Amino acid sequence: MNNHSGAVLVLSGPSGAGKTSLIKKIADEIGEYYFSISTTTRPIRDGEVDGVHYHFVNEEEFKKDIAEDNFLEYAVVHGNHYGTSLKSVREALNAGKLVLFDIDVQGNTAVNSRLGDITTSVFITPPTLSKLKQRLLDRSTDTQEVMESRLKMAKREIQRISEYDYMIVNENLNEAAEVLKLIALSAKMKIPSEDINKFIQEWEDI
């Protein structure tokens, strides 16, 4: 019964918390998975590849997908639209894969409302706000205005950690990766309520 259907692992946390680095660390140790690539209207950055890092579209295309109910969840972040393709997620789950999401707290709420019985959620954060600010400065990919916006959002998001199943304080990358790996492997064992009910009916075979 275990591990025959897909499961969902939601990763949230401030930009700069190290989510991407942690995923790369554990990728070869958690079995087959699908990393959900978001669709966004934000401009493509140097080094990014359309269809690899994001699906880059204009606002008109994005709103068309909203109208056609093609998103599992979507939100406006720092003035740009972000959304998760519902079709790709369904295909991965039907193939029995672990679906990884890197989404904000709004997205976590939306995913749980649709896929809550197979979803495990993790909030990843640096030890302090000042360390987050330093990481953003070191990264040098944002304007001062965008960075300040990210820090303000981080202060709001940190208040919602209790909505998550787990919290990882990413101070040491190797230690944080080991914890995330264990959580990911456990998430794959989560059984949908429908399957549990079916098992109970079959178990009572007298």
Q: Kindly report the CATH number assigned to the domain that includes residue 52.
A: 3.40.50.300
- Check residue 205 and give its pLDDT: 79
The four Cα atoms 189, 88, 53, 134 give a dihedral, to 10 degrees, of -40
Residue 73 inside a domain? The answer is yes
Q: What angle do CA 60, 152, 139 make, to 5 degrees?
A: 80
pLDDT tens, per residue, the chain with 206 residues:
555 679 999 999 998 899 999 999 999 999 999 998 889 999 998 888 988 888 999 999 999 999 998 898 888 887 899 988 888 888 899 999 999 999 889 889 989 998 989 999 999 999 999 999 998 988 877 788 888 989 999 999 999 999 999 999 999 999 999 999 999 999 999 888 888 898 999 998 77
Number of structural domains the chain divides into: 1
Residue 14: domain span? 7-199
Residue 182 inside a domain? The answer is yes
- Check residue 123 and give its pLDDT: 98
Spatial contact of 111 and 73, defined as CB atoms under 8 Å apart: yes
Residue 206 inside a domain? The answer is no
- Check residue 2 and give its pLDDT: 54
Residue 25 inside a domain? The answer is yes
Residue 2 inside a domain? The answer is no
Strands 38-40 and 80-85: antiparallel
Q: What angle do the packed helices 144-157 and 129-139 form, to 10 degrees?
A: 150
Residue 162 inside a domain? The answer is yes
Which of 31, 7, 9 is closest to 165 using CA atoms? 9
Residue 205 inside a domain? The answer is no
- Check residue 45 and give its pLDDT: 86
Residue 11 inside a domain? The answer is yes
Distance from C-alpha of 74 to C-alpha of 57, rounded to nearest angstrom: 14
pTM of the model: 0.82
